[in-house]
Amino acid sequence: MSDHAPQHVIIVGAGLAGALLACALGRAGYRVSVYERRGDPRIKGFVGGRSINLALSTRGLAALKELGLDEVVLADAVRMPGRMIHDRQGRTVFQPYSRDPGDAINSVSRGGLNLTLLSAAAECANVALYFGHRCLDIDPAGPTVVFHDEATGREATASGDFVIGADGAFSAVRGWMQKTDRFDFSQSYLAHGYKELSIPPRPDGGLVGGFAMEPNALHIWPRGGSMMIALPNRDGSFTCTLFWPFEGEHGFSAIRSRADIRPFFERHYPDAAPLMPTLEEDYERNPTSSLVTVRCAPWHAGDRIVLVGDAAHAIVPFFGQGMNAAFEDCSLLVRLLREHPRDRASAFERYFHERKPNADAIADLALENFIEMRDRTASRAFRARKKLEHLLHGLFPGWYTPLYNMVSFSTIPYARARARARTQWRVVGAVGAVMALGLLAGLVAVLRYLP
C-alpha cells in the first residue's frame, strides 16, 4: 500500500463476498472491520435461508487460488462433470457439460465455504469481525456507518476511509445509495419460488459410498413449468431444491395439506420420492423463498462507498454463477485498488465499468438457462444440439466453444462469452442453411434425370 497508516475499510456483510474481501484486503495491508447482522457462524453454526449448496466453477476457483484457498475448498467439494436428467418414468440420461472429462463444476457447502473464508480472514491481525450488527444508516462524510448492536440493544458507529457493501440482494448499503440523486435501481421477481428438501445417505451403502444416486452429477427433474434439482454433499446426502410456480396445479399452491405432499411427489418425481423419508417434515419446515434479479447503477458513491456481489447485481441461480460472479468482483476490485493506491475514485469507476456489462450479461443468461433446464434438457433436440456443440468444439477448438464452457470453465468476460456464442450459432445456422440448400439442389438434379 504505502508508508502511511493503512487505510481502514468497513465491510458490511460477512457472507461469501464479504469474507473473501476481508481476507484479500487484510493480506494486502488494509485495516479491515467486517460487520454482519447475523451471529458468528463459527460459534452458532451456519444459519441459512439461502441455498445450502453452491456450484463452484473456474471463476470462483481463480479468486480462491489467489488466496491459496482453492485446494482447501476443493477437498470438501463433490465434482459434477455433467447433468443427470430424470424423466417422468424415473429413467435417467447423463449429459456431460463438456467433451473434456476434466471440466466439472463443484458442489460445495455454502456454510462450510463461509466458515473457511471467515477463518482465513480472522488469521489476519488487521481484520476484525463483528457479528450481531445490523446496518441502519450511512453518513458519507465520514464515511460512518450506524449499526444496531444486538448484544447491547444500542446503536454503534464505525468510521473508516471507505465502505464496501457486501450485504446481499436486499443490501442496506445499496438502500442508502438508492436515496441519492441519479441512482438507477430495478428488481424483478420470477413467478417461481424455491424450497429445499433432502435425500439422506443410504444406511445400506447406497449406490456409491452411501449416495442414493450417482454422486458425480447435478440431478435435474425437468417438468416443463417446474423442476427439481439435487446437488451431492460429502456426507452422502443430496440437497434438493424445488423450483415451482407459486400458483397453479404444478406449483406450491397445489399442496394444500400434509396429505398432498407425498402423492404429488410420487406422481411427478417417482424415482426420488422413495429416497426422501423426511419429505413431509422437510416440506413443511423449510421456507418457500422468492427468486429476484437486481440491477443498479452506479455501484459506487465517489471514493467512499462501493458495492460487490448480490448487493450490486443479484441474479437467479440457474447458471450457478452468483457466487462465482461475486468472487470475480472481489478479485477485480482488490487488483484495481492495488493499481490505484491514491485514487480510489478511479479504481471504483473502472471496477463499475468493467463489471456492469458482465453482470447484466450473466443475469440475462441465468434467466435464459432457467428455461433451458426446466423445459429443454429432457428433449431429444436439446441432446442433439449438445452433441453438435461438443463435435464442433472438438473439430474447431480455436473457433467454436459452447456457451456453457465459456461461462463455467473459463474466465472469458460474461458479455464477451454471450456475444461470441451468438455469433457462433449464426455462423452454424448459415452453414446449415447452405448445406440444406445444396442437398435440396442435388436432390432436384437427381430427380430431373430419373426416368
Write out the residue range of the structural domain in which residue 401 sits.
Answer: 380-449
Give me the CATH number covering residue 61.
3.50.50.60
1: in domain: no
Judge if 34 and 142 occupy the same domain.
yes
335: in domain: yes
Residue 378 confidence (pLDDT): 57
pLDDT tens string 316-370: 999 999 999 999 999 999 999 999 999 999 999 999 999 999 999 999 999 998 8
> Which of 316, 341, 369 finishes a domain?
369
> Which of 243, 266, 290 finishes a domain?
290
Judge if 286 and 339 occupy the same domain.
no
Judge if 300 and 181 occupy the same domain.
yes
Judge if 22 and 129 occupy the same domain.
yes
Judge if 147 and 159 occupy the same domain.
yes
12: in domain: yes
3: in domain: no
Judge if 257 and 356 occupy the same domain.
no
Which residues of the chain are under the pLDDT cut of 70?
1-3, 45-51, 205-208, 374-379, 381-383, 385, 429-451
> Which of 336, 369, 402 finishes a domain?
369
86: in domain: no
pTM listed for this prediction: 0.90
- Total domains, the chain: 3
For the record, the C-alpha cell of 427 comes out as 455462423
46: in domain: yes
Residue 427 confidence (pLDDT): 75
Judge if 179 and 311 occupy the same domain.
yes
Residue 432 confidence (pLDDT): 58
Residue 3 confidence (pLDDT): 54
Judge if 17 and 142 occupy the same domain.
yes
Residue 49 confidence (pLDDT): 47
Neighbours of 37 (CB within 10 A): 18
298: in domain: yes
260: in domain: yes
Judge if 393 and 429 occupy the same domain.
yes
Judge if 119 and 252 occupy the same domain.
no
Mean pLDDT of the chain: 91
Residue 363 confidence (pLDDT): 98
Residue 425 confidence (pLDDT): 77
Residue 391 confidence (pLDDT): 80
Judge if 41 and 122 occupy the same domain.
yes
Question: What 3 state SS string does the chain have?
Answer: CCCCCCCEEEEECCCHHHHHHHHHHHHCCCEEEEEECCCCHHHHCCCCCCCCEEEECHHHHHHHHHCCCHHHHHCCCEEECEEEEECCCCCEEEEECCCCCCCCEEEEEHHHHHHHHHHHHHCCCCEEEEECEEEEEEECCCCEEEEEECCCCEEEEEECCEEEECCCCCCHHHHHHCCCCCCEEEEEEEEEEEEEEEECCCCCCCCECCECCCCCCEEEEECCCCEEEEEECCCCCEEEEEEEECCCCCCHHHCCCHHHHHHHHHHHCCCCHHHCCCHHHHHHHCCCEEEEEEEEECCEECCCEEECCHHHHCCCCCCCCHHHHHHHHHHHHHHHHHHCCCCHHHHHHHHHHHHHHHHHHHHHHHHHHHHHHHHHCCCHHHHHHHHHHHHHHHHCCCCCCCHHHHHHCCCCCHHHHHHHHHHHHHHHHHHHHHHHHHHHHHHHHHHHHCC
Judge if 318 and 415 occupy the same domain.
no
